[in-house]
Amino acid sequence: MPAIGHYCVIYSKQPQIPLVVDGDIRDHATDQRPDENGSPLLADEPGKANVMSDQKQIDKGRAAAIRAGMGPWFSRSSTHGPLIAGLLVLSSGAPTVAADEVISELKVGIMSHDVSVLGSNEEQGIDVNAEILFASPEFLSAIWSPRPHLGLDINTAGDTSQLYLGLTWRWQPFEFPLWGAFSTGGSAHTGETGKSSRDKELGSRVLFRQALEIGYDLDDQWSTSVYFSHISNANLADENEGLNNLGLRIGFRF
């Protein structure tokens, strides 16, 4: 009778089918087991059988074997036992990723398009902004753990819209729930790259993008902020008028 830890394996009269009671594998006829409500059920208790169904025995036997470290040699007469037990062991060790371990925060906002800060105003309309901030991966800890972001500005007047990505650093130096953030990255836009009589001459299709944000935490999840963004090509192209947006955003942290 092999014993592993506190688990004892005794085979029942039905060949190769162990009987499991409270994590122990026992003999059919002589021992007790709990009923469905968890209270003891004795073999001589009138009107109640003390023999589990084959399937319940198999299921509990496999679970007990895995917990006891029996692993591959736990089997019935067929090969299904070790296969299922192995799959259960592998699946129990597989990492699970919760949503809040991937997505850190969602933000939406309304922006005044092409404001005349650090430039001129030539384009019109309002921008609808949406942004996803992801949890900072471990390899970015060397540069103060910025959060990667992916965002979109859609201009409601048909002028320049943009898709952008990059990294965001956030600082909250005091216990007071006022914080600041800085972002840097790149942007691909739908605006003009060459000479234009009515729209910004942005010089190249892909631009550098920076943003500043000052916000206030309403509670542990919700925040509101003032947001300013700037895109330009840093004078790497013939034309470089740049584009600035300014507005308000609301954020929800997971």
> Tens digit of pLDDT for each residue in 154-188?
999 999 999 999 999 999 998 899 999 999 999 99
More confident: 19 or 234: 234
pLDDT at 1 over 50: no
Kind and range of the H or E run holding 54: helix 54-68
Look over the chain and give the mean of its residue pLDDT values, rounded to a whole number: 78
Domains and CATH numbers, the chain: 3-93 (no CATH), 99-253 (2.40.160.20)
pTM of the entire structure? 0.62
pLDDT of residue 62: 61
**Phi, psi of 67, rounded to the nearest 5 degrees:** -65, -30
How does residue 120 score in pLDDT terms, banded at 50, 70 and 90? Answer: confident
pLDDT at 11 over 50: no
**Rounded Cα distance, 130 and 150, in Å:** 9
pLDDT of residue 15: 46
How does residue 197 score in pLDDT terms, banded at 50, 70 and 90? Answer: confident
What the block records as the tokens of 94 is 């597989």
Which residue bears the tokens 């997505």?
103
Chain segment 25-48, per-residue pLDDT in tens: 454 444 455 455 544 444 444 444
